[in-house]
Amino acid sequence: MMAEFMDGLFSIFFVETLINALLLGGVFALLSLGLNLIFGVIDVVWICYAEIIMLGMYAIFFLHAEGGMPIILAACCGIGVTALIGWLTHRFVIGYLLQAEPINQLLATGGLLFFFQGAAMVVFGIEFRNVGVSLGSLSVTEDIYLSWTRLLSFVLATLTVVVLYLFLSRSYLGAAIRAISQDREIMILMGVDTKKLYLLTSAIGGGLAGLAAALLVLQYDVHPFIGLSFGPITFMICVMGGLGNMVGGFLAAFVFSLLITVGGYFAELEWGYVMAFTFFIAAMFARPKGLFARNS
């Protein structure tokens, strides 16, 4: 048993697994980025965030596979669509609930989750749809193949974190957004239009969902319930990273992906998820504000 385990540990496939974990972490990081921004600034958990990604995937699928748009252009349009959905979500749902209990905000977005799933089912049907674009894979050695899509998401996630970080720390708007997340009441007294900033943040968050959708659509078939398969993990990454902490969320994404892939390597993939979720629960007990939260 032990020898088998050690063999497993040093095999070439394990190395491949680790690299894949790193790349999957990139996908997770990208998935949770927008949610993290919204969570940090507006202090609302959008349970329906994964469903917005699903709608983005459908938008890209239809523009490319049915509308004949080049994939890059379709992806850009998809980002526009999800940004609009993010804006609408805040304008017509969260905006009315800013003073309500946090849990009611969470449940209202739970309603949106049903709504998005239902709408997708009515309009697009329940068939699995594939966009039919594949970037292929890169062969590093004879045994190790890396998916170009995952490499791309890794690079893109890193880039987006950097851009978002620069935007938040260097630009005027970014400073306003950071200030609002520190003290909601005072900012209004300072003459800041919080409404506008919240809408902007929601639109950016939605747009980031579109970016994630563009990469997911290359790897997975779209169907109305795809959000359920990666939704929970996305919230957990955000919470574990610490409320609105971009870098923490980025790191948490890699912790989760490592647990899932390594768990999946030694047993079934589901055990990887079981490990990741159990780890999340344990981490919450140890540090309720998130594993990478700044001490304040």
Q: Residue 233 in contact with residue 138, Cβ under 8 Å?
A: no
Least separation in angstroms between residue 225's CB and another protein is: 9
Which amino acid is residue 152, in one-letter code?
L
Backbone angles phi, psi at 234, to 5 degrees: -65, -45
C-alpha distance from residue 52 to each of 7, 90, 191, 206, 267 (Å): 42, 13, 32, 7, 32
Q: Sketch the per residue contact string, 148 through 167, with another protein: x for CB under 8 A, - otherwise.
A: --------------------
Stretch that binds another protein, among 25-33, 147-155, 192-200, 274-282 (CB under 8 A): 274-282
Listed ranges 24-32, 78-86, 138-146, 272-280: which one lies at the site for another protein (CB under 8 A): 272-280
User: Segment near another protein (CB under 8 A), from 169-177, 183-191, 192-200, 282-290?
Assistant: 282-290
Say whether residue 293 binds another protein (CB under 8 A): no
Among 11, 104, 139, 169, binds another protein (CB under 8 A): 104
* Cβ 260 vs Cβ 272: under 8 Å: yes
Let me know how long the chain is.
Answer: 296
Our CB check for another protein shows the closer of 132 and 169 to be 132
Is residue 120 part of the contact set for another protein (CB under 8 A)? Answer: yes
Cα separation, 208 vs 231, in Å, equals 15
What residues from 126 to 145 belong to the interface with another protein (CB under 8 A)?
A: 126
Interface with another protein includes 125 (CB under 8 A)? yes
Alpha-carbon 180 to chain mean position: 22
**If binding is defined by CB under 8 A, does position 235 make contact with another protein?**
yes
Please name which of 59, 214, 47 lies closest in space to residue 124, comparing C-alpha atoms.
Answer: 59
Nearest Cα to 124, choosing from 77, 210, 55, 64? Answer: 55
When binding is defined by CB under 8 A, the residue of 6, 121, 159, 190 that contacts another protein is 121
Alpha-carbon dihedral 276, 282, 284, 288, rounded to 10 degrees? -160
Q: Which of 236, 237, 255, 262 binds another protein (CB under 8 A)?
A: 236
What does the block give as tokens for 131? 């966009």
Instruction: Determine which residue in the list 114, 139, 163, 195 makes contact with another protein, applying CB under 8 A.
Output: 114
Paired sense of beta strands 137-139 and 145-147, if any: antiparallel
Query: Which positions touch another protein (CB under 8 A)?
Result: 45, 47, 93, 96-97, 100-108, 110-126, 224, 228, 231-232, 235-236, 239, 267-268, 270-271, 273-274, 277-278, 280-281, 284-285, 288
